[in-house]
Structure 1
Amino acid sequence: MQRLLQADTAGGHAFHKAHEFSGYALAGATPLAIFSSKGSILQRTADFLFSVAIPVHSHITMNAVVTDYLPKAARGPARVGVLGMSVVTYLGIMKMNLAGPGLTETVKGLWRKPVPAAAPAAKK
């Protein structure tokens, strides 16, 4: 557990490789998500790559920020907070992927024009 809390320093080579490969996954999944059609297997693949790569990459990176900018006395509680947010991020993305439209469609929806609501039928 201690190595997971100190993902930037205590993990050594394994966490360095995880950070590197999660970066590759993000770089590969992004164009896949952008250019794939709605609901396609490519889009679902990108969504599930994101669900792992985003929390892993951000967890290791935020631990480096904690190491660089916080005094030693504050690092322990901050690392617990980082781990908690990494878990919440993973669960949130997975919920969107499994019970919603998926991460890709959710983000693409930010650029779509809203569909106007139908006018209610007039009473006679």
Structure 2
Amino acid sequence: MLSRIIRADEGVLGVRVYHMLNLGVLWLTPVALVSPPPLTSICDTIIALAFPIHGHIGMNYVLTDYVPKVFGKGARGPARVIMLGVTTATTAGLLKLNMDGPGVTGALKALWTK
């Protein structure tokens, strides 16, 4: 299971999840920005999970293409493990923002308020 998460860009499942998340966050982000408070917290939780997973799979595509060219094929595995750490930290940070702060949507809305 862990190896499938680390090699997220390989296989049909990773591609499907990536494209479903692509459409999901494209639709959910504007909905979250205009939704009333009870629905906003649900949207924030989904966004806090969807954005990092989408980024993790997408960055694994980049790592697969470019790490072997620059550092050699042996560096691909460690780079993917580091990416998993970045994804985990990002997810934890966004969930903490939702629990202890204004939430992902509140933080985005704060960009346009004085």
Is TM-score (shorter-chain normalized) higher than 0.5? yes
Which residue pairs with 2:85 in the alignment?
84
Q: Which runs of 5+ in 1 are unaligned?
A: 114-124
Q: Which of 1 and 2 has higher RCO (CA within 8 Å, sep 6+)?
A: 2
Q: Which has the larger radius of gyration?
A: 1
TM-score (norm 1): 0.82
Residue correspondence of structure 1 range 7-86 to structure 2 within 5 A: 7-9=8-10, 12-37=11-36, 40-71=37-68, 72-86=73-87
Number of residue pairs aligned between Structure 1 and Structure 2: 109
Q: Map Cα deviations across residues 27-63 of structure 1 (whole Å, 9 max, x no partner).
A: 12111122224xx122112211111110110000000
Q: Map Cα deviations across residues 59-100 of structure 1 (whole Å, 9 max, x no partner).
A: 000000000111112111110111001001110010011111
Aligned Cα root-mean-square deviation (Å): 1.2
Dislocated runs of 4+, deviation >6 Å: none
The structure in which a higher percent of residues are helix is: 2
- State the percentage of identical aligned residues: 40
TM-score (norm 2): 0.88
